[in-house]
C-alpha cells in the first residue's frame, strides 16, 4: 500500500534576497519516512527546511506541504501541524520562560505571549512530552537555567506536543558535546519507535548525528541535488566525495554512519 505524500517538490528553485540557493528537480517525503538532508555549509539545507515549513516560497516550480501549495494556498494553519526545532527560534524567546510555557506555545504555533491560557488537556500534554524527553520535574524551570542539551530537548517537546503531521529538525545537535549529542540521537530513535508513521526531515552536515532509525537521505552540494533515496544507497563513498572532497570515507556500524580519513 502506497503511503501518503506529505511533501512534494517539482522543478523547485529557491532564492533568498533574489539569489538562487537551491534547485531540486524532484523530491518527496511520505508518511513513515525519516529523511536526513546532508551537505556542506551553504548548500541550501536550511533554505529547504524553511521551505518545508512554508516560510520560504518557491521562486520557480511547485512545492506542496500536507496538501497545500506553497505560495498559493493558505498555510498559516500548518503552524501546528508541522513541528519544528532549530537554532533560529531560540533567540526569539524570553529566557525567563519556563520549559512548560515554551511547550504550551506549540499548541498555538507562536513564540510570544499567548492570547489564551492553555487548556488543562494541553498543560497535561506539555508535561507528558517534557517527561518523555527526560525533563520530568523541570517543567517550571526557566530556559536560562537549563543546559543546552536540555533546552534542545525542550524545543523537541514543543514541536511534538501538538501531535504534528510532520517534524522538521534544523541541526538539532549543533553545539552539543558528544555525550549530549548521543543522548539526543537516542531520543530520536525512541521517537521513531513510538511514532513510526511520523515523517521527519533532519538537516545536518555531520553523519554522526544521523539516528540509526532514519530511512532516506537527500544529498546537496552547491545548491544542487546530488543524490536521493534510501539512506545506504545515497551516503556512500562516491557521494561523500561530492559533498566533502577532502579524502573522507564513510563506515556504517550498528546502523550509524561514521566518517574517517582515507
* Mean pLDDT in residue range 80-97: 87
Considering only CA atoms, which of 250, 222, 217 is closest in space to residue 236?
250
Bridge partners, residue 64, by sequence: 8, 69
More confident position, 42 or 10? 10
Q: In angstroms, rounded to a whole number, what is the distance separating the alpha carbons of residues 202 and 127?
A: 25
Same domain for 171 and 68: yes
Using the 3D structure, point to which of 111, 137, 163 is the last residue of a domain. Answer: 163
Whether residue 113 is found in the same domain as residue 207: no
| Residues of the chain above pLDDT 90, percent | 69
Residues 28-41 have pLDDT tens digits of 999 999 999 999 88
Most confident of 102-116, 157-171, 235-249: 157-171
- Residue 44 domain boundaries: 1-81+166-262
Query: In this structure, is residue 87 part of a structural domain?
Result: no
Judge if 124 and 8 occupy the same domain: no
Give a yes or no: residue 204 inside a domain.
yes
181 is a domain residue: yes
**Band (259; pLDDT cuts 50, 70, 90):** confident
Tens of pLDDT, residue by residue over 156-182, are: 999 999 999 999 999 999 889 999 999
Q: What is the mean pLDDT of the chain?
A: 91
- Domain with residue 252: its CATH number is 3.40.50.300
pLDDT band per the 50, 70, 90 thresholds, residue 113: low
When pLDDT is cut at 50, 70 and 90, the band that residue 2 belongs to is low
Q: At what angle do helices 178-194 and 148-160 cross, to 10 degrees?
A: 20
Highest average pLDDT, of 70-74, 177-181, 209-213, comes from 209-213
> Could you tell me the pLDDT band of residue 244, with boundaries at 50, 70 and 90?
confident
Domain endpoint, select from 146, 163, 180: 163
* pTM, rounded to two decimals: 0.92
Are 176 and 256 in a shared domain? Answer: yes
Same domain (yes/no): 100, 140: yes
Q: Do 180 and 243 belong together in one domain?
A: yes
Whether the Cβ atoms of residue 65 and residue 78 lie closer than 8 Å to each other: yes
Query: Do 257 and 173 share a structural domain?
Result: yes
- Specify whether the CB–CB gap between 160 and 129 falls below 8 A: yes
Q: For residue 25, is it within any domain?
A: yes
Between 68 and 87, residue with greater pLDDT: 68
**Burial call 31-57: b when 16+ CB within 10 Å, e when fewer:** ebbbbbbbbeeebbbbbbbbbbbbebe
Residue 114's pLDDT band (cuts 50, 70, 90): low
Residue 22, domain member (yes or no): yes
pLDDT at 112: 66
C-alpha cell, 25: 528537480
CA dist., res. 84 & res. 148, Å (int): 17
Do 44 and 75 belong to one domain? Answer: yes
Place of cell 527546511: 49
Residue 215 falls within a domain, yes or no? yes
For residues 184 and 63, membership in a common domain is answered with yes
Q: DSSP readout, 60-107? A: EEEEEETTEETTTS--GGGGGTEEEEEGGGGGGS-TTSBHHHHHHHTT
171 and 76 within one domain: yes
Contact 174, 148 (CB under 8 A): no
Distance of CA 31 to the CA centre of its chain: 15
C-alpha cell belonging to residue 239: 557521494
Residue 15 has pLDDT above 90, yes or no: yes
pLDDT score of 115 more than 90: no
As a whole number, mean pLDDT of residues 126-135 equals 95
Position 86 in a domain:
no
Q: Are strands 82-86 and 166-170 parallel, antiparallel or unpaired?
A: parallel
Nearest to 36 by CA among 195, 222, 243: 243
- Count of the separate structural domains present in the chain: 2
The pLDDT score that the predictor gives to residue 30 is 97
Q: Which residues on adjacent β-strands are paired with residue 10? A: 26, 62
Q: Is 197 exposed, middle or buried (0-12, 13-18, 19+ CB in 10 A)?
A: exposed
Domain-embedded: residue 115: yes
Check whether residue 25 and residue 44 sit in a common domain: yes
Do 108 and 152 belong to one domain? yes
Amino acid at each position: 500500500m502506497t503511503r501518503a505524500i506529505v511533501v512534494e517538490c517539482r522543478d523547485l528553485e529557491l532564492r533568498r534576497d533574489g539569489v538562487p540557493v537551491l534547485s531540486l528537480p524532484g523530491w518527496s517525503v511520505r508518511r513513515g519516512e525519516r529523511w536526513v538532508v546532508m551537505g556542506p555549509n551553504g548548500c541550501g539545507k536550511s533554505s529547504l527546511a524553511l521551505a518545508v515549513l512554508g516560510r520560504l516560497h518557491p521562486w520557480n516550480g511547485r512545492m506542496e506541504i500536507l496538501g497545500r501549495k506553497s505560495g498559493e494556498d493558505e498555510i498559516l494553519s500548518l503552524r501546528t501541524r508541522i513541528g519544528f526545532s532549530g537554532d533560529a527560534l531560540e533567540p526569539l524567546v524570553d529566557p525567563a520562560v519556563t520549559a512548560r510555557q515554551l511547550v504550551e506555545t506549540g499548541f498555538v504555533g507562536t513564540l510570544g505571549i499567548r492570547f489564551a491560557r492553555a487548556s488543562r488537556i494541553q498543560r497535561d500534554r506539555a508535561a507528558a512530552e517534557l517527561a518523555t524527553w527526560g525533563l520530568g520535574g523541570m517543567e517550571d524551570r526557566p530556559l536560562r537555567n537549563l543546559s543546552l542539551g536540555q533546552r534542545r530537548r525542550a524545543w523537541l517537546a514543543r514541536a511534538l506536543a501538538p501531535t504534528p503531521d510532520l517534524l522538521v529538525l534544523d541541526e538539532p545537535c549543533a553545539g552539543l558535546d558528544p555525550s549530549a549529542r548521543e543522548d539526543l540521537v537516542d531520543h530520536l530513535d525512541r521517537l521513531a519507535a513510538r511514532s513510526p508513521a511520523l515523517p521527519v526531515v533532519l538537516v545536518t552536515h555531520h553523519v554522526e548525528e544521523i539516528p540509526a532509525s532514519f530511512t532516506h537521505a537527500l544529498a546537496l552540494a552547491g545548491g544542487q541535488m546530488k543524490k536521493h533515496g534510501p539512506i545506504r544507497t545515497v551516503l556512500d563513498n562516491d557521494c561523500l566525495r561530492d559533498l566533502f572532497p577532502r579524502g573522507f570515507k564513510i563506515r556504517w556500524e550498528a546502523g550509524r554512519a561514521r566518517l574517517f580519513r582515507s
